[in-house]
């Protein structure tokens, strides 16, 4: 490329027009030039003023030779460029092949949908495999992709894909795909969407990972936890009932000190039962074997009963609990799960708030759109350290200050709450300042998602 450019400059430099112009220039500025300049000027003047045929012929010959050289340079350069281009194309093919290979081994595919410039849309080879589609010339539409999604996940995935195109920025979700040969895969999509100025989607791009193996491992783990917890419950039950028997005088009356010991055993055992129950709830939610019985009930009464349950603990700690419900309609939900939400949020608030502090629980529909009920649980407790706020809902994670204050928590409570809330189709968020307090905001649909599906599938 550089060569061609040079050649053109040279060529243009020798055009007769520019030579004429230079000659005029020389003539007009003769006095300003030095000795050598004058000599050159003199020669040029001979050419133009007297025009003898011999020097003109010489000049033409020079031009011819120059053009010849130029042409040679152009031709050889072109050949070199073409060779280089062919080499680069080969390189690109090799890189593409390597990328395809890497994607195949790493089990991920890449995609780009450009809604403005359709030709810029792209699917890698592995993308077809992971989507359960046969490779084709033009990039499949999102609808085609959705049609190949496992029927149980299709509707959820359609909503997720639609949402992904509406909001600019990163998105991530997962579902199962079914290949033409019936093979089912779990995939996770991580991508980024860009919008045009008028908010219409411009492009969506990202990668699809095959997470089948991870999901299987995770399921096996949850099943293990479930099994182990069940096994643990039997000896825990035996300890519980033996304590009760001893306290009831089954083995004769107890001395005051003996009673104290048995009560200590009973209390520790009860903590273990609670922990095992927490683990079981998590594995049930993860394995989707949680019994879901949607029923219509009064959320306000539920919250009141949870608060009443927590009142003795709060009183002992001198923490006040204030409950201010506004318009709270009945909801159709799984009562056990709804209870777990309040139980975890309110007991956490009480647990992590110091003496003299307060816990406030508010709920209502907050306006005309009566589709959700909003719950706010605020405390004046220890708060969540800024650096740890991103991990609050992570399974088994406990904030460092919470761990220091209450050493025997499981780190499952908020994880369970988030799982339930999201499963129901709601959302949860919080704000917190370390040392000042934490406020959780929960939105719950008045009619929980997923509850009816489970009941109907249970009936079959």
Which residues lie near another protein (CB under 8 A)?
230, 233-238, 240-242, 244-245, 248, 250, 273, 276-277, 280, 289-291, 458-459
223-246: b (≥16 Cβ within 10 Å) or e: eebbeebeebbeebeebbebbeeb
Q: How far is the CB of 233 from another protein (least distance, A)?
A: 4
Closest CA relative to residue 140, chosen from 124, 155, 153? 124
Phi, psi of 191 (to 5 degrees): -150, 180
Q: How far is the CB of 236 from another protein (least distance, A)?
A: 6
The whole-angstrom distance between residue 195's C-alpha and the CA centroid of its chain comes to: 18
CB of 265 vs another protein, minimal distance in Å:
14
Q: Compute the least distance from the CB of residue 268 to another protein, in Å.
A: 14
The distance of closest approach from Cβ of residue 184 to another protein in the complex, given in angstroms and rounded to an integer, is 22
- In the complex with another protein, the residue whose CB is nearer, 235 or 435, is 235
Q: In the complex, what is the shortest distance from the CB of residue 123 to another protein, in angstroms, rounded to a whole number? A: 40
Tokens read off for 176:
């199962």
Residue 218 CA to residue 162 CA, distance in Å, equals: 28
By beta-carbon proximity to another protein, the closer residue of 398 and 423 is 423
CB contact at 8 A, 352 and 319: no
Listed in sequence order, the residues at least 6 apart from 101 whose beta carbon sits closer than 8 Å to its beta carbon are none
Here the tokens at position 271 are 């903590």
Nearer Cβ to another protein, position 9 or 248? 248
244 or 403: CB nearest another protein: 244
Contact (Cβ atoms closer than 8 angstroms) between residue 402 and residue 388? no
Judged by beta carbon, residue 28 or residue 253, the one nearer another protein is 253
Helix (H) / strand (E) containing 275: helix 256-287
Four-residue CA torsion sign, 224, 288, 391, 310: negative
The Cα–Cα gap between 100 and 212 comes to 20
Q: Which is nearer to another protein, 179 or 263 (CB)?
A: 263
- Least distance (Å) from another protein to the CB of residue 301? 22
Residue (102 or 264) nearer to another protein, CB: 264
């Amino acid at each position: 490329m550089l060569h061609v450019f040079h050649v053109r400059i040279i060529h243009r430099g020798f055009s007769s027009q520019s030579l004429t112009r230079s000659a005029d220039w020389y003539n007009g500025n003769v006095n300003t030039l030095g000795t050598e300049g004058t000599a050159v000027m003199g020669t040029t003047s001979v050419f133009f003023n007297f025009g003898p045929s011999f020097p003109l012929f010489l000049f033409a010959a020079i031009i011819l030779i120059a053009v010849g050289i130029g042409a040679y340079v152009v031709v050889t350069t072109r050949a070199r460029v073409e060779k280089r281009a062919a080499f680069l194309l080969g390189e690109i093919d090799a890189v593409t092949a390597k990328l395809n290979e890497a994607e195949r081994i790493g089990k991920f595919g890449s995609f780009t949908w450009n809604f403005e410039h359709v030709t810029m849309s792209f699917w890698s080879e592995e993308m077809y495999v992971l989507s359960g589609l046969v490779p084709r010339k033009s990039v499949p539409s999102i609808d085609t992709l959705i049609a190949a999604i496992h029927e149980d996940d299709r509707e959820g995935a359609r909503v997720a894909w639609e949402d992904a195109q509406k909001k600019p920025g990163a998105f991530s979700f997962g579902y199962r795909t079914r290949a033409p040969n019936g093979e089912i895969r779990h995939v996770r999509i991580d991508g980024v969407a860009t919008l045009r100025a008028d908010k219409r989607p411009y492009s969506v791009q990202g990668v699809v990972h095959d997470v089948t193996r991870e999901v299987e491992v995770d399921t096996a783990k949850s099943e293990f936890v479930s099994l182990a917890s069940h096994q643990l419950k039997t000896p825990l039950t035996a300890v519980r009932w033996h304590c009760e028997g001893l306290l009831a005088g089954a083995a004769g009356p107890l001395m005051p000190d003996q009673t104290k010991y048995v009560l200590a055993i009973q209390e520790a055992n009860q903590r273990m039962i609670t922990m095992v129950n927490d683990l079981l709830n998590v594995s049930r939610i993860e394995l989707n074997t949680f019994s879901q019985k949607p029923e219509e009930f009064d959320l306000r009464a539920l919250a009141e009963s949870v608060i009443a349950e927590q009142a003795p603990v709060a009183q002992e700690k001198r923490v006040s609990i204030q409950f201010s419900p506004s318009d709270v309609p009945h909801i159709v939900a799984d009562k056990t799960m709804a209870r777990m939400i309040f139980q975890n949020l309110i007991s956490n608030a009480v647990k992590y708030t110091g003496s003299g502090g307060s816990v406030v629980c508010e709920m209502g529909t907050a306006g005309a759109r009566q589709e959700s009920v909003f719950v706010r649980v605020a405390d004046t407790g220890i708060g969540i350290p800024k650096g740890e706020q991103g991990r609050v809902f992570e399974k088994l994670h406990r904030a460092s200050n919470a761990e220091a204050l209450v050493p025997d928590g499981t780190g499952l409570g908020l994880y369970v709450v988030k799982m339930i809330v999201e499963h129901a189709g709601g959302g949860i968020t919080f704000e917190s300042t370390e040392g000042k307090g934490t406020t959780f905001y929960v939105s719950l649909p008045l009619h929980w998602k997923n509850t009816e599906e489970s009941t109907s599938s249970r009936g079959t």
